[in-house]
């Protein structure tokens, strides 16, 4: 059965999507794992990092993105088909990555999430509002070794759909005050949600990203994170630390002319960093 790992932080811009995509690509290409990326974030950054905008538009207009899945539940229609929605062999590497698949998002999820929040669970009868994603993914989980879920930067119903099927979750964060402030809230809210729904989902670690070694603030907060983790107050801090680099942001450009992961992430230590991160994910998750 697949290991289902959600990437989540309440603050945007912390490298969540970039880390999720890089881990997915390295798992699929370097480790030959069968990987499915589930893009639950309405910003669709993971989606447009792995497929072209034209391909995304075709999927969205055909009702084969996650917007349609949730819309079906609201309108009691049956347009979404998970087998048709999953796109295989994705990545901005030339020719894609054979073992990497994508369940794409849509900007329409923003409006859908607002509607879902207003509807009581009984409306869905056989399917709880937080089990909509799980109801379609469970039959295909055995096709994958890893399912990587890119969650929106909130703890709303769509995010909880991801947590509901996850075996674990990771919290990418910049080592600064604003990015780390919400970590206890994430841990407490998911723990409470897991208890109510009898889930075994656990925090698997905190990934430090966009780290600046020359920043005294970053060094101070990184040391505090590690101290709190050693004291059992936080999940483990990943040994792999992702430094801030413009090339990392550029690597997700779907139009980039790259053939290998080393070409895509090879600037400076980026390739080695993400290779190490993927290996660490396998060990910790």
| Vertex 144: Cα angle to 186 and 102 (nearest 5) | 70
Looking at the domain assignment, is residue 284 inside a domain?
no
Looking at the domain assignment, is residue 90 inside a domain?
yes
Looking at the domain assignment, is residue 63 inside a domain?
yes
Strand 87-88's sheet: what is its strand order? 87-88, 100-103, 35-39, 146-150, 3-7, 168-173, 202-208
Query: What value does the CA radius of gyration of the chain take, rounded to a whole number of Å?
Result: 18
How many whole angstroms from its chain centre is CA 37?
7
Looking at the domain assignment, is residue 165 inside a domain?
yes
What pLDDT, on a 0 to 100 scale, did the predictor assign at position 122? 55
Nearest CA to 36 out of 131, 144, 142, 134 is that of: 144
8 Å CB contact between 206 and 225: yes
State the total domains in the chain: 1
* pLDDT digits (tens), the chain, 285 positions: 899 999 999 999 999 999 999 999 999 999 999 999 999 999 999 999 999 999 999 999 999 999 999 999 999 899 999 999 999 999 999 899 999 999 999 999 988 888 887 766 555 445 688 999 999 999 999 999 999 999 999 999 999 999 999 999 999 999 999 999 999 999 999 999 999 999 999 999 999 999 999 999 999 999 999 999 999 999 999 999 999 875 555 565 656 678 999 999 887 789 999 999 999 999 999
Looking at the domain assignment, is residue 125 inside a domain?
yes
Looking at the domain assignment, is residue 79 inside a domain?
yes
Looking at the domain assignment, is residue 22 inside a domain?
yes
8 Å CB contact between 63 and 79: yes
Give residue 88's domain range.
Answer: 3-279
Place of tokens 């964060």: 173
What pLDDT, on a 0 to 100 scale, did the predictor assign at position 141? 97
Q: Which domain CATH number covers 269?
A: 3.40.50.300
Looking at the domain assignment, is residue 285 inside a domain?
no
């Amino acid at each position: 059965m697949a290991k289902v790992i959600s990437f989540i932080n309440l603050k945007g811009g912390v490298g969540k999507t970039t880390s999720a995509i890089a881990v997915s690509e390295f798992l699929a290409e370097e480790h030959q794992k069968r990987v499915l990326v589930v893009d639950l974030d309405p910003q669709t950054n993971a989606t447009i990092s792995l497929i072209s905008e034209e391909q995304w538009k075709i999927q969205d207009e055909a009702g084969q993105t996650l917007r349609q899945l949730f819309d079906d539940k609201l309108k009691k229609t049956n347009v979404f088909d998970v087998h048709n929605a999953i796109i295989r062999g994705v990545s901005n590497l030339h020719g894609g990555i054979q073992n990497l698949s994508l369940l794409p998002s849509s900007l329409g999820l923003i409006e859908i999430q607002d509607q879902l929040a207003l509807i009581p669970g009984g409306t869905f009868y056989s399917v709880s509002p937080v089990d909509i994603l799980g109801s379609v993914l469970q039959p295909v989980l055995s096709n994958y070794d890893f399912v990587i879920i890119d969650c929106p930067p909130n703890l709303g119903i769509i995010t909880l759909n991801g947590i509901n099927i996850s075996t674990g979750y990771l919290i990418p964060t910049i080592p600064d005050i604003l990015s780390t402030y919400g970590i206890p809230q994430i841990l407490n809210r998911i723990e409470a949600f897991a208890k109510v729904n009898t889930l075994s989902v656990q925090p698997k670690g905190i990934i430090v990203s966009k780290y600046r070694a020359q920043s005294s603030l970053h060094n101070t907060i990184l040391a505090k994170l590690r101290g709190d983790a050693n004291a059992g107050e936080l999940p483990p801090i990943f040994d792999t630390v992702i430094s801030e680099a413009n090339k990392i942001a550029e690597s997700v450009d779907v139009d980039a002319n790259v053939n290998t992961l080393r070409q895509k992430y090879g600037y400076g230590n980026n390739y080695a960093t993400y290779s190490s991160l993927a290996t660490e994910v396998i060990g910790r998750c």
